[in-house]
Structure 1
Amino acid sequence: MFDIWNRRYTGSKYKLSSWISELIAENCNGSSFCDIFAGTGIVSYTMLDKMKKIYINDFLYSNEVIYKAFFDAAPYDKKLISEYCSRFQSLSTDNIDENYISINFGGKFFSHTDAKLIGYIREVIESDKDKLSEKEFAILLASLLYSADKSANTVGHYDAYIKGHDIPDTFRFDLINPYKTKKSQIAISREDSNEFARKLKCDIVYIDPPYNSRQYSRFYHVLENITCWRKPELHGVALKPDPENMSDYCRNKAKIVFKELIDSLDCKYIVVSYNNTYESKSSSSKNKMTLEDIEAALSARGEVQRFETSHIFFNAGKTDFNDHKELIFIVKVK
């Protein structure tokens, strides 16, 4: 079974989540927590036994489905889910026709056999949607996303696939492991962070925005495509659909929208993650905000505490960066 951290995700806070949650426990008081750029959802997971209310927000469709699968407190039929799992695990491609995934991604992001299985399973989940509760649908789809990601022929994102080798058949459908939560505890949303912030009232807000030009909707376009299942026409070597869901945090106006976000928050504590890759040789890795930009925005709301730890960051090979630090800023709002 997959836990929420069992996926490859650029900027994942899995290895830092204990440190982050300890800093929050030591420096913040409150019973409500918002993870406004939730990403993998791992920081929200560490807060499950600490907070009465958790707001989990991200603008990717795939992440929203994953949060519903893991965190939504709605009941579901475990026997039914198990039956689907057994059925999907016993599939053979001998009787499966070519499909959207195999035609577009077979022999590229997945082996041809794996792509046929992924596409077929996605069609079954979609055709059975009316027979499934929202929670059951989310569990099956999130399980497919995790299973597909594990077998993907990539370095951990979908900006490119690995070329020049035979791709092995490694796909196996496995289930995610949903967490026990209370209905009143979890609120899941897929909104623009700045728009969401204007409606939010919460004790502690954790902010981990994208800091460079890598658009997450483009980095994870294959998983977004599988989630939405609109079957768009694809372009270029990386087989991406037309741009959608693009973030201003990956553009030159990042520091402007960050300050707008910070200024609009109605909370007691602001906690911000930041990593110092802004001197990167890779233009796509260069931070769109500097430490000074962040500290200036935060200091307008209260006294800023700064914490740091050494951390090995995601590197596709273009960046020579030895002194990488992960920083946490905590502001007690005036």
Structure 2
Amino acid sequence: MRKEDVNMYSISNRRYTGSKYKLLDWIEKLILENCEGDSFFDVFAGTGVVSAHMSKHYKKVIMNDFLYSNEIIYKAFFGNGEFDKAVIEKYREQFRKINPNRLKDNYFSENFGGKYFSNNDAKIIGKIREKIKKSKRSLSDREYCILLASLVYSMDKVANTVGHYDAYRKIKNIDDKFVYELINPEKPSDKFSIYRMDANQLVRKVKADIAFIDPPYNSRQYSRFYHILENIVQWKKPKLEGTALKPQAENMSEYCRSDAPEVFADLIKNIDVKYIVVTYNNTYNSKSSSSRNKITLEQIKDILSAKGKTTIYEKRHQCFNAGKTEFDNHKEFVFITKVGEDDGK
């Protein structure tokens, strides 16, 4: 390992609502004890930490998420395209030498400077994004994704938030803290297949031995929670509105709406796997309406039981909390369904 690798970002180095990072060992143990097969389908991959952790056990891993920023991250870490480390390092050194005092304001600093980032950091972030865009033709697809994912991780580390971008902390003088650091990508491999699709459509097109399903359950839309990361990745420079400076709503999930139970039932009905592993937490009792689950534990159980023999496991767990929501006796549940096997009722 190079000396520089010590500071490189691993895939788990993000703040992300609902991340299963702290539950990985428990989830891994349950899957290995109860499921068999060579392929693993992460239907709502989120940060990608579950796929990354479980990949050593499987010949094929399918990753899917509907956020553009997550797709770029998966391609950066796990894509099968080639990349030149020397090229990546050259850009890293170039980006680190950018002097904000010599920069004019740009789209990013005009909108997010002094709010989500310091003015200087925002100018640097905007400048780097423009440089990555202009360099795209001279980069391989994998190199482009690595540079852009590295920007996302470097931004996320210093953002003036509580872990998402629904709001920024009200601080008068935000310190300059941004440092562009690289992610630590895997070697090119054909093991991973990466999608950015509606999950209910994708399950009709792919098949696997084991499906891991961790959908959003409450009304908090991830495309809105992480709008700045989506903005920096797509780089369409949309007009922004409101205190949180969000673009016009797009890429909204049906799992965050009242018809979530019907959408989940459709997913389970049409998924082509031998085992289904669903994670769920009991925030349906939350005092916050936005945190309250759209699907109840009983609905999950009934839907899965119709597909096969279902066993429920539970564990006490302190969930992600931005400070406004109270959870009493919080538990994480894992449902494991053996598809087609009689539930014994």
- What is the TM-score normalised by the length of structure 2? 0.95
Aligned with residue 195 of structure 1, among 187, 198, 201: 201
Moved more, 240-249 or 12-21: 12-21
Q: Structure 2 counterpart of 1:218, which letter?
A: R
Aligned with residue 313 of structure 1, among 311, 314, 319: 319
1:201-280 paired onto structure 2 within 5 Å? 201-280=207-286
**Sequence identity (%):** 59
Q: Structure 2 counterpart of 1:320, which letter?
A: E
d(CA) in 2 for partners of 1:266, 1:137: 33
1:83-98 paired onto structure 2 within 5 Å? 83-98=90-105
Secondary structure at 2:56's aligned position in 1? coil
Secondary structure at 1:47's aligned position in 2? helix
Structure 1, gaps ≥5 residues long: none
Other-structure match for 1:66: 73
RMSD: 0.8
Aligned with residue 99 of structure 1, among 76, 95, 106: 106
Distance apart, 1:55 and its partner CA: 0.4
Secondary structure at 2:57's aligned position in 1? coil
Distance apart, 1:320 and its partner CA: 2.0
Secondary structure at 2:117's aligned position in 1? coil
Secondary structure at 2:156's aligned position in 1? helix
1:156-195 paired onto structure 2 within 5 Å? 156-180=163-187, 182-183=189-190, 185-195=191-201
Please list every run of at least 4 consecutive aligned residues from structure 1 whose deviation after the TM superposition is greater than 4 angstroms. Answer: none
Q: Structure 1 counterpart of 2:135, which letter?
A: D
Distance apart, 1:319 and its partner CA: 2.1
Residues 72-107 of structure 1, C-alpha deviations (whole Å, 9 max, x = no match): 122101000000001111211122111111000000
CA contact (8 A) 1:281 1:318 kept: no
CA contact (8 A) 1:311 1:325 kept: yes
Residues 119-160 of structure 1, C-alpha deviations (whole Å, 9 max, x = no match): 000000001100011100000000000000111000000000
d(CA) in 2 for partners of 1:84, 1:19: 39
Residues 136-195 of structure 1, C-alpha deviations (whole Å, 9 max, x = no match): 000000000000011100000000000044211110000000023522x11000000000
d(CA) in 1 for partners of 2:186, 2:273: 27
2:40 aligned with 1:30:
no
d(CA) in 2 for partners of 1:320, 1:43: 26
d(CA) in 1 for partners of 2:30, 2:194: 24
Aligned with residue 309 of structure 2, among 303, 307, 311: 303
Other-structure match for 2:25: 18
- What is the TM-score normalised by the length of structure 1? 0.98
d(CA) in 2 for partners of 1:264, 1:281: 34
Other-structure match for 1:128: 135
Moved more, 27-36 or 16-25: 16-25
d(CA) in 2 for partners of 1:60, 1:182: 23
Other-structure match for 2:5: none
Other-structure match for 1:77: 84
d(CA) in 1 for partners of 2:335, 2:149: 32
CA contact (8 A) 1:147 1:171 kept: yes
Secondary structure at 2:285's aligned position in 1? coil
